[in-house]
Chains A and B, each alone.
Chain A
């Protein structure tokens, strides 16, 4: 799941919760909304729980542009 979608998912989740709390939903609609909300929140959590970041530095390998781990990021735990 890409981080670009995180904000959209979070907004969707917020909107869903708001709609559930203010709207008149049937039980079926509530259940469906709940299921979708839980799915969204799981996906959001997954984004937040993503693995350690990569810190890289751009290098010129001849004419080719490459990237390599940044040594200065050694302060990372």
Chain B
């Protein structure tokens, strides 16, 4: 019988059997999935693991569990029901294959730089193949393409895709495979979330580019492929380089090659010319040497003359300075000074003598004028008191009867005061 319901009270004892309760809104029944009851792969989705809360569709038969006297379902095949379940199946497969290392970077094969022939696994009709053909032709018009036509949705699609992978491996000249499909719902994309397809991609000796769905849809095929493209056109771009760019870089390389050789030759020529210029006739060197010699002797002559002139000038200067310091001149000078000083001394002396003589003469005259005898000669006389000889100037200096002496010009007279 076929029965649908939701999984609850899920238990997985070590025996490997799976026990749960299958229920809907109104009823419930115990269920068991025996581990590989008829060998692996017999069940429709043995790889699909039931989980708590999951909606499933099963084929089962009803038995009685004697110890409890209860009915139970022995489930023979089980598959997920509805979108959530499909998503779940996808996640499970992804997790399992990832754990197996099917998506690991080390497994990824390197794409050829310029493919010889591209194998394309897709529907032979529709936009996908057209986009791929247009883009590859635009980028590099001479890359051959072999289409392995398959259905890209529905129950048979995954088996066809797996077969196509097998066929393409037989062509030695195919060096990259594009597996492509336009966008769609999770159900539409189911063939690309198929384990068999994933394993076919992984097993391909030819590198695989996947372009399934749109930018945001990732399928198991995308994870497994060596390179994932967001769209079929992008896959075509990744598969072939641009011919014009290659031509350009080739042109550039050729230009550099030629340019380098040209420069190299130019460099050689220049060094040759320069060497040639440096290689000179010895005769010319001789002439040059002679010229140099002449030049030097001329210069040496001039230098000698200049030097002599300079030295004689120096000599004249020295003679001048020597003359200036001649001791005879100094002696003569000193002698003249001495003579002058002697003359000055003489003059001074004579002046002094004259002065003294004048003063002496003056003094004699005064003296003469003062000589009392001179006065006496003129008739004057001097009276002196006796005995002291004091000159009498006033009458009072004498007394009556006093003896006096009167000096006259010739001799002296003695007298006595008789009146006063």
Q: Residues on A close to B: CB < 8 A?
A: 2-4, 6-7, 10, 13-14, 16-17, 20-21, 25, 27, 30-31, 33-34, 37-38, 41, 44-45, 47-48, 50-58, 65, 67, 70, 72-73, 75-76
* Bound CA–CA A34/B250 (angstroms): 14
B253 touches A70 (CB 8 A): no
Some 14 contacts from A to B, beta carbons below 8 A apart, are A10-B246, A13-B250, A17-B257, A27-B264, A41-B250, A48-B250, A54-B145, A56-B146, A57-B124, A58-B147, A58-B148, A72-B125, A72-B130, A76-B133
Interface SS, A side: helix
- B113/A17 in contact, CB under 8 A: no
Q: How far is the CA of A7 from the CA of B116 in the complex (A)?
A: 12
Docked CA distance A16–B124 (Å): 44
Question: CA separation between A33 and B258, bound complex, in Å?
Answer: 11
One of B141, B146, B246, B257 near A52 (C-beta < 8 A): B141
Q: In the complex, what's the smallest C-beta–C-beta distance from A69 to chain B, in angstroms?
A: 11
Cβ–Cβ < 8 Å partners of B256 in chain A: 17, 20-21
- For residue B207, CB closer than 8 A to chain A, the reply is no
Residue of A nearest to B141 (CB): A53
Given A52-B141, A75-B130, is A3 in contact with B116 using a C-beta cutoff of 8 Å? yes
Query: Does any Cβ of A come within 8 Å of B175's Cβ?
Result: yes
Contact of B268 among A13, A27, A37 (CB under 8 A): A27
What separation, in Å, do the CA atoms of A4 and B175 have in the docked complex?
A: 9
Shortest distance from the beta carbon of A61 to any chain B beta carbon, whole Å: 13
A57 to chain B: which residues have CB within 8 Å?
Answer: 124, 146-147, 149
Top 7 closest A-B pairs, CB basis?
Answer: A7-B113, A50-B142, A3-B116, A37-B257, A57-B147, A34-B261, A6-B114
- From known contacts A27-B264, A30-B260, A76-B137, infer whether A3 and B147 are also in contact, taking CB-CB under 8 Å: no
Q: Across the interface, do A53 and B144 meet the contact criterion of CB distance under 8 Å?
A: yes
Q: Is B365 interfacial (CB 8 A cutoff)?
A: no
Name B124-151 residues within 8 Å CB distance of A: 124-125, 129-130, 133-134, 136-137, 141-149
In this assembly, does B170 line the interface, its C-beta being within 8 Å of a C-beta of chain A? yes
B250 touches A3 (CB 8 A): no
Which residues on the A side are within 8 Å of B232 (C-beta)?
A: none
A58 to B165 Cα, complex, angstroms = 12
B359 within 8 A of A: no
B264 contact set on A, CB distance < 8 A: 25, 27, 30
Instruction: Contact check, B133 vs A73: say whether CB atoms are below 8 A apart.
Output: yes
Asked if B167 is an interface residue, CB under 8 A from chain A, the answer is: yes
Residues of chain A lying within 8 A (CB to CB) of residue B265: 27
